[in-house]
Structure 1
Amino acid sequence: MSVCNMAARSRCLAVALLFIFSGAFGLPINQQEKDPTTCGYQSCHSTKANMLNVHLVPHTHDDVGWLKTVDQYFYGDRNDIQHAGVQYILDSVVDQLLKNPDRRFIYVETAFFYRWWKQQSSSTQQTVRQLVDEGRLEFVNGGWCMSDEATTHYSAVIDQMTLGLRFLNETFGVCGRPRVAWHIDPFGHAREHASMFAQMGYDGLFFGRVDYQDRGRRMAEKEQELLWRASESLTPPMADLFTGILPNGYNPPEGFCWDQLCSDAPIRDDPDLDDYNVDDVVQRFLHAANSQAMVYKTNHIIMTMGSDFQYENAILWYKNLDKLIHYVNAQQANGSMVNVLYSTPSCYLQELHRANLTWPLKEDDFFPYADDAHNFWTGYFTSRPALKRYERITNSNLQTCNQLEVLAGPASRKGPFGKGDSETLRKAMAVAQHHDAVSGTEKQHVANNYAKMLANGWQHCQVLVSNSLASLSGSSAERIYCDNLNISVCPLTESSKKFSVSVYNSLAQPLSWPIRLPVNGTAYRVADAKGKPVDSQVVPVSRSTQEVRRNRGFAMNELVFQVQAPPLGYSTYFVSAIQDAPPLFPPRSGAPTGIQNKYLKVTFDPDTGLLSSLSNLETKQTIKLTQNFYWYNASVGNSESSQTSGAYIFRPNSSTPIVISKVAKVQSLQTSVVQEVRQWFSPWVSQVVRLYADSKALELEWTVGPLPVLDKRGKEVITRLDTDIKTSEIFYTDSNGREMLQRRKDFRPTWQLKQTEPIAGNYYPINSRAFLKDDMNQLTVVTDRSQGGSSLQNGSLEIMLHRRLLYDDYRGVGEPLNEASEIFPEGLVVRGRLLLSLDHPASAADTHRPLAQQVVFQPLLTFTDGDLSPNARLEFSGLQAALPPAVHLLTFSQWDEESVLLRLEHQFQSWESKVNSHPVTINLQKLFSTLDVLGVSELNLSANQWKDEMKHFSWAPQKEETPMLKQFEDPSVWEVTLRPMEIRTFLLRVSRK
């Protein structure tokens, strides 16, 4: 879609838009107009139709942090941990590519390449541009990092891909645009990732890790290359992606590694020397190639010639690969039918496409992943739960930062509080999506470094947010940020007798949200922006909160009240202490019979203090519901297998978890704003069951840790919800926060599973929610971070909360997952929330979809001491009107001074809501309250191609096509229609009203 002012859509306008957006979009006119005949698919070496063509792909896999930090990896520091220096890899590869025009190399991680590029001279940069233009250096994947697929939220993945691909676009134009997604190292593969890659314009995806049973079947049936239909809702082939499973993970065939860190013999081709080995090398290679060809479908196979941080001294690789190609191909004169060539994943993919075959169709995902019978990589779904939560909160803060940068304009970046920027946090968040970052599979000092980068980025954004709110409100009073409210710490509210709270809502719908502020008074007046009183209550801080915050705060009480905030805007609340207020009554001992509001009722067992039922009072549904905490004893290896539980691997030594306590010590309090049942299960496990007056969800705030290990046993703590819902061993989890997938105990849709680990082999990633349902009831659990979970009994759902392990699991990280800190030297304490809702299955998504978005994109609170200026603007919305419930405003960020990047998404699947699973039309010109939209052009999902110029390879599935869904056209040039699960991306030219 291309529009300028009110003109009708036409191709001639695309040129005008290119001119308008050329600086913003990073696609200069001269690069757009030139015919890229020497890069991409046009740069591929020729192959031989009647031979087995072996595509050698020189590559390096450069983790953006793992055993060393990002900085240490780039500079080659701390080689006592791991010998790796990315800057030297790129130096060496560029030098060697210039020596032979036949040579090829692919590079993946833009975070590293960006750093290296900035340090190069203009002549080196021009040389590299020439290599890229000729297809000799090719970028694959191209995101800031190679993201994890289990524990990342789709919004953060899209952001980090956009960041990396934008840099490649601006730097190299069309020849820098990757055509292949390359996820060779993530530990299992999510369907939503495939859907996103398809919508980003990739022609194919290659990865290395697949379950050992799945691989065995696929090898036998030659199904290691397939068509992945990655959405039930999007019209095929919108989310169809050709997918290839690489033969050796991402390593070279055995015996053919020629990096300086490898021990394989080089090719010794001087016949006058005693150790001449060309004949042996050629015969071993021909055997490897022919063996590999037996398990693939065409006369083309791919070999990854490289591995972790290889090519630091690239001459070793290239000198031997040159010889290998020469001597193997020389055998064709003797009747050999093997042809070897330098290649890239895209060149290999092009040959598969040219084969014009049909391919097996896959519609589920690749979780869980196991590399052997007792080695399920399902522990990292939960590893480092504090870092997982911090990453999720920071993602929310980044969206707020991006939005306010647009809404306040230039005043956001340079205002009364100094220079602010969103770029620092954007890059830190992008790094955090790496498959050894948010996944929790890095060394401890690296995890600390990720958190430090996020904190530093947020400090930069705080300046921008303060400037923005000062500009929008007309008040330059200092803004205070309280990042530890979850443990009731905020120095301002603890000491001030009068302050204001600004609540910013990044969602496109009005927000109602409970807040809890640490205070030391016993009564307060709260008023909204219009001066109307707001019902509030002061409750005592719980004992567990006092214990977890230690010396970081001194509030004895919490002020609780409900706030409302307009869409894409803020509202202000005023708080003042009441003098001579009476003391608070302490919580009552013992469990109440029940607690309820106008939506929900919860009952408790008077003997155990545990939950016993949950009722939806609107729909008159009731289920039995018990909840408790358990721990699995982590395996240290046994006679079956030496495999231990670790950062990656989950392997309990028993199928029966150990209950922490069958009875909870209980206190309760009931007020007009909130009702709480405070439960203590042990010195290291407590919980608050909380029901707010206006909430349709029951909150379970859990606090777990330090996990005791004096008994020399590693512990993996779960909470388990047991219901009378008849699930037939089926449950549902989300994929990266978007579409829901059905899971069944001891079952894989793709192959006949031989279950070897009855617990770990049934664990799946839960990114934002999971649910159980039958014909009448659906219990949905919304999580506040990525966690692992399962349903191991009918009507039961368990979620892993915390892990502390005493042994490494032999997957390279080289240390146990045994977290501690300065504050908690005896072991990490983690706090989080689960939100439970009970609905009819036909309408449950209408509750849990928006609830999950509210948890992911939580409101940002800022505080101001004393009174605000009398002329301050106390409420603001960046929208003319709220968007419909089905539509989420996913991205709203500054692209350049005149352009804004906008993503709108339909957040319902096609089947899940009678009310909201329908197309929705939005008028872009009537969207914003402070911006006039002058021009618009539609982009692909990653914003590096015009949508109408995005062309895919077409692939034919083996099984019958799914019927095409009804097509909808946009009703006008300014009105855009979103179908279920569709994300549409626009570059807007705007002016300020």
Structure 2
Amino acid sequence: MFSKMATTVHTPFVLLLFQIGVFSLPVSQTPQESPTCGYKSCHAIKPGMLNVHLVPHTHDDVGWLKTVDQYFYGARNDIQHAGVQYILDSVVDQLLKNPDRRFIYVETAFFYRWWKRQSGDMQDTVKQLVDEGRLEFVNGGWCMSDEATTHYSAVVDQMTIGLRFLNDTFGPCGRPRVAWHIDPFGHAREHASVFAQMGYDGFFFGRLDYQDRSRRKASREQEMVWRASESLVPPVADLFTGILPNGYNPPEGFCWDQLCDDPPIRDDPDLEDYNVEDVVSKFLTVAQEQVGVYKTNHIIMTMGSDFQYENANLWYKNLDKLIRYVNQKQVNGSNIHVLYSTPSCYLQELHRANLSCPYFPMRIDDFFPYADAAHDFWTGYFTSRPALKRYERISNSYLQVICNQMEVLGGPTSRNGSFGVGNSDTMKKAMAVAQHHDAVSGTEKQHVADDYARRLANGWTQCQVLVSNTLAALSGSSAPRVYCEHLNISVCPLTESSSKFSVNVYNPLARPVGWSVRLPVNGTAYAVTDSSGNAVDSTAVNAIGCTTWSVETNQKHAFLKVTFDPETGLLSSLSNLETQQTVRLSQNFYWYNASDGNNKDSKQMSGAYIFRPNSSTTFIISKTAKIETVQNSVVQEVRQWFSPWVSQVVRLYADSRVLELEWTVGPVPIGDNMGKEVITRFDTSINSSGIFYTDSNGREVLQRRKDYRPTWTLTQTEPVAGNYYPINSRAYIKDEKDQLTVVTDRSQGGGSIQDGSLEIMLHRRLLHDDVRGVGEPLNEASDLYPEGLVVRGRLLLSLNPPAVAANTHRPLAQEVVLQPLITFTEGLLPPNTRPEFSGLQTALPPAVHLLTVSQWDPDLVLLRLEHQYEARDSKEHSQPVTVNLQVSPLPSTFILLTGLSPSYRCAVCLSGEKPLPKTKGDPSVWEVTLKPMEIRTFLLRVRLR
């Protein structure tokens, strides 16, 4: 291998000529008649009575036990009886038979497929149902995303795809007003923040910790206002949030799907099994019990479940009868009124109650970890399927860099150029599906996980055509581009076989970055030059055995020093030479013995969802590491071997302020019939006092405390699993002097079980199912690794004073999420080739992140900017930032886009938001001000000269 080429490439940018509200989408359709959808379509309630809002719905997983295709078509019913196309067929048919009926639909990925297959007449019929509010969309994303293992940028993208389709198809009546996450396994504060900023009026979910739910029932606090950001000024990130009473299922005894066993309502009094009085009596009892744990005279009941309503007639015939017979009791003094409703109609009635804000409690933390029983913590899926989690993360980078930015840079040429026809839709939809709460979460069957990976791979192929066309246009060279997709395992046939080749490095960030490029080669003497012909420091790295135990940069600027124990070969300390900090730092690899269900306290086993070690004891893989060291002008490495299935390379690059740990784990041995949960643990001299910190979906950071929940008193029953939290991009521990930050390259679970320690779960290989539905153990293998999956990843460590640490870990996490794109060409570039291109005249300020640059329409570009610092992060960067946006060097002119307006939000205890004013002044220079954690979205129209 040789390295280093620290290449700086600027990201494209363009002039903005119209501003819309955060995540707002343009309205492309205006109904000919005034629609009565949304709040206008709600049925009348009866004041003074208990109003029971029945919400017919189906929950359709975008892959889980079957693939997306199998679920849509109803294939492989031997696995699970489910066919989404029949659900939608049947629901539409039944809605037409009674105008009082209502139905909500969630997963746009399925609805989009169904819609494309309908006749024009049927599409017109469905549009009428939507316009009248009889069919209402909630949530509206391409899928119902996971909240623990997803990065916010990918979540925003998948929501955008789904919402845009609904808007383009149905206009304002297609706009969801309620976020609906009834199945994810715990809830992230950043998701609530994003929903609030997108203009949702409320958020409903079904799962929360069993202890938390019990307390909330007792205090009637199952509805709240979630203050989902400590940086955004209220009420920007405030969101009314409701916890549904039965998860997302109907009350016990009231399930009338073809897969249910509850008896139908038999209302013929001449028949022997007449049961109307029994059903009504039971329903009245259920309603009175439910109102006892909520605060208003309105309660909501979800009437549906997984893949239900394939025969909607069964449901609606019984619901019609239930409403009729319960309401008839009012003449005899009953105070219960039942009606067809939707979550938004229910929310409207809470809003109309005009209750003061203290009536509903305020929530400022999140809902992790989730447990449904004393020994059943759903914290294993934070790490399950680590290879898929990494593939999803780098695919997100690929989407942002290749599909999105390159498509904008290349314009029409990118989609139809010398290398063929490419498109970004395949990758966008594959990534959107991957955000599903049984996709990147790792909680699907193996054949479904394979299907998610296949979809992403197809997206890569389509996007590579885009980038080849774009680079050919920008560089003036039509030389074929080579994509080495296995550099993580040091495989690239071109660089290994060619004596001369060119490397193109594209930086997707709107600021310069240094990046060390490592390539597999066959040889030891290579000359590397930059685009100007200047020599770049590089070296061939070979294994050299020696006994040097102290490693530090040997360049003029030394920032870090790492020491190893000469007896064990393990890390022993880390020093920041700039700040004169040194901490004791010991790192090793361990495993927990996964429960097989034979514990004395519980029969619960570890599985795809649940992490349950047999005890709090960790088994050390090795107390010593065999090592080899490499030292040269570019990089210093200590290569550690802990066992035949665990190894690591500790790297310190020249002039670097971070330490890189590249770990390799697998195949995890199971010959002893023990499932294993493999972790790495950092034990330090930092006095963390039982506190550590994790990010929320890659954005704001939350404090975590051992055996503690901020809003309720925890009885801890699982001292390890009950202290695990999702780590999406970074975690850290600190005291008054030192902060050790660990940046991850994928979503992982972790905790601080002992003071001064931070552990991260890397790999899981289990022998039992955890009885949560997936029906198979998490025991991954592949054609390449039939003995068990081998996983490789990176952790980046930094040591700083707490007051300045955010200046390091936030941009570093962004660099890991959006990595440079590296492509290759055979031989050296022709003389007339343009070797360098910059789409920015100047870099953006350090606090500003270029979140999205994406082709919206043939002549429209969607752009998002965000302030990437929290209000409390940094004296230097946690201030409002004004960006002066000037014309980019792209060959284009710009015209004002009109007819767009921001969305308004109306919810309990929230004031309506005002539209953002248009920027005035010189059209060649626009100033955009961003406050901490603020995201601003823009559409611009590009006209090529």
Question: Where on the TM-score scale, by shorter chain, does this alignment land: which range?
Answer: over 0.9
1:29-73 per-position Cα deviation (integer Å, ceiling 9, x unaligned): 634x9643x100000000011111000000000000000000000
The letter of the residue matching 1:950 is Y
Name which of 305, 308, 329 aligns with 2:303.
305
SS across alignment from 2:778: coil
Pair 5,728 (structure 1): closer, same or farther in 2 beyond 3 Å = closer
Matched residue, 1:628:
588
Name which of 722, 728, 739 aligns with 1:767.
728
1:141 positional shift? 0.2
Name which of 478, 481, 489 aligns with 1:479.
481
Q: Distance in 2 between the 1:590 and 1:952 partners?
A: 67
Name which of 888, 903, 907 aligns with 1:953.
907
Name which of 599, 613, 634 aligns with 2:559.
599
The letter of the residue matching 1:595 is E
Superposed counterparts of 1:22-61, under 5 Å: 27-28=27-28, 30-31=30-31, 35-36=34-35, 38-61=36-59
The letter of the residue matching 2:553 is Q
Q: Distance in 1 between the 2:156 and 2:149 partners?
A: 14
Runs of 5+ unmatched residues, structure 2: 1-13
The reply to whether residue 978 of structure 1 matches residue 930 of structure 2 is yes
1:937 positional shift? 6.9
Name which of 698, 709, 718 aligns with 1:737.
698
Matched residue, 1:845:
806
1:899 positional shift? 1.1
1:187-230 per-position Cα deviation (integer Å, ceiling 9, x unaligned): 00000000000001000000000000000000000000000000
1:338-394 per-position Cα deviation (integer Å, ceiling 9, x unaligned): 000000000000011111223100000000000000000000000000000000000
SS across alignment from 2:283: helix
1:6 positional shift? 11
Q: Distance in 1 between the 2:283 and 2:512 partners?
A: 64
Matched residue, 1:547:
none
Matched residue, 1:386:
387
Name which of 836, 840, 853 aligns with 1:892.
853
Contact 1:970 1:977 in 2 (8 A): no
**What RMSD in Å do the two structures reach over aligned CA positions?**
2.0
Q: What TM-score results when the alignment is normalised by the length of structure 2?
A: 0.95
Range that drifts further, 877-886 or 85-94: 877-886
Matched residue, 1:470:
472
The letter of the residue matching 1:500 is S
Matched residue, 1:574:
none
Matched residue, 1:749:
710
1:160 positional shift? 0.1
Superposed counterparts of 1:553-568, under 5 Å: none
Contact 1:194 1:228 in 2 (8 A): yes
Name which of 410, 418, 422 aligns with 1:408.
410
The reply to whether residue 914 of structure 1 matches residue 875 of structure 2 is yes
1:930 positional shift? 4.4
1:694 positional shift? 2.5
Q: Distance in 2 between the 1:8 and 1:54 partners?
A: 44
Q: Distance in 2 between the 1:26 and 1:734 partners?
A: 32
Contact 2:200 2:905 in 1 (8 A): no
Q: Distance in 1 between the 2:139 and 2:505 partners?
A: 38
Aligned length: 917
SS across alignment from 1:319: helix
Superposed counterparts of 1:582-621, under 5 Å: 586-590=543-547, 592-596=549-553, 598-621=558-581
1:25 positional shift? 5.8
Q: Distance in 2 between the 1:396 and 1:117 partners?
A: 30
1:5 positional shift? 11
SS across alignment from 2:464: helix
Name which of 63, 66, 72 aligns with 1:65.
63
1:969 positional shift? 11
Matched residue, 2:11:
none
The letter of the residue matching 2:563 is T
Matched residue, 1:960:
none
1:639 positional shift? 2.0
Q: Distance in 2 between the 1:289 and 1:954 partners?
A: 23
The reply to whether residue 123 of structure 1 matches residue 77 of structure 2 is no
Q: Distance in 1 between the 2:34 and 2:194 partners?
A: 28
The letter of the residue matching 2:365 is D
Matched residue, 2:339:
341
Q: Distance in 2 between the 1:429 and 1:455 partners?
A: 10
The letter of the residue matching 1:152 is T
Pair 6,881 (structure 1): closer, same or farther in 2 beyond 3 Å = closer
SS across alignment from 1:514: coil
Pair 721,262 (structure 1): closer, same or farther in 2 beyond 3 Å = same
Superposed counterparts of 1:675-694, under 5 Å: 675-694=636-655
Q: Distance in 2 between the 1:7 and 1:454 partners?
A: 34
Contact 2:871 2:878 in 1 (8 A): yes
Matched residue, 1:991:
943
Contact 1:925 1:932 in 2 (8 A): no
The letter of the residue matching 2:934 is E
Matched residue, 2:10:
none
The letter of the residue matching 1:181 is A
1:926 positional shift? 3.9
Pair 464,732 (structure 1): closer, same or farther in 2 beyond 3 Å = same
Matched residue, 2:287:
289
1:469-496 per-position Cα deviation (integer Å, ceiling 9, x unaligned): 1111111100000010010000000000
Q: Distance in 1 between the 2:29 and 2:325 partners?
A: 45
* Bigger RCO of structures 1 and 2 (CA < 8 A, at least 6 apart): 2
Superposed counterparts of 1:522-537, under 5 Å: 522-537=524-539
Contact 1:611 1:627 in 2 (8 A): yes
Q: Distance in 1 between the 2:526 and 2:906 partners?
A: 61
Pair 6,441 (structure 1): closer, same or farther in 2 beyond 3 Å = closer
1:420-469 per-position Cα deviation (integer Å, ceiling 9, x unaligned): 00010000000000000000000000000000000001100000110011
The letter of the residue matching 1:872 is T
Pair 461,713 (structure 1): closer, same or farther in 2 beyond 3 Å = same
Contact 1:111 1:144 in 2 (8 A): yes
The letter of the residue matching 1:445 is H
Contact 2:15 2:887 in 1 (8 A): no
Pair 927,983 (structure 1): closer, same or farther in 2 beyond 3 Å = farther
Q: Distance in 1 between the 2:145 and 2:448 partners?
A: 16
SS across alignment from 1:914: coil
1:952 positional shift? 2.6
Q: Distance in 2 between the 1:604 and 1:930 partners?
A: 54
Name which of 584, 608, 616 aligns with 1:655.
616
1:26 positional shift? 5.6
Contact 1:590 1:609 in 2 (8 A): no
Contact 2:17 2:940 in 1 (8 A): no
Q: Distance in 2 between the 1:915 and 1:26 partners?
A: 36
Matched residue, 1:817:
778
SS across alignment from 1:607: coil
Q: Distance in 1 between the 2:589 and 2:15 partners?
A: 60
Q: Distance in 2 between the 1:625 and 1:845 partners?
A: 21
Matched residue, 1:489:
491
1:933 positional shift? 3.8
1:593 positional shift? 2.6
The reply to whether residue 798 of structure 1 matches residue 738 of structure 2 is no
Name which of 252, 271, 274 aligns with 2:272.
274
1:954 positional shift? 4.7
The letter of the residue matching 2:471 is L
Q: Distance in 1 between the 2:919 and 2:657 partners?
A: 35
Contact 1:631 1:716 in 2 (8 A): yes
1:869 positional shift? 2.1
Contact 2:674 2:767 in 1 (8 A): yes
Matched residue, 1:190:
188
Q: Distance in 2 between the 1:990 and 1:823 partners?
A: 47
Pair 8,79 (structure 1): closer, same or farther in 2 beyond 3 Å = closer
Pair 968,630 (structure 1): closer, same or farther in 2 beyond 3 Å = farther
Q: Distance in 2 between the 1:591 and 1:297 partners?
A: 68
Superposed counterparts of 1:90-109, under 5 Å: 90-109=88-107
Contact 2:350 2:908 in 1 (8 A): no
Q: Distance in 2 between the 1:145 and 1:402 partners?
A: 20
1:265-292 per-position Cα deviation (integer Å, ceiling 9, x unaligned): 0000000000000000000000001100
SS across alignment from 1:812: coil
Name which of 638, 654, 668 aligns with 1:707.
668
SS across alignment from 1:339: strand
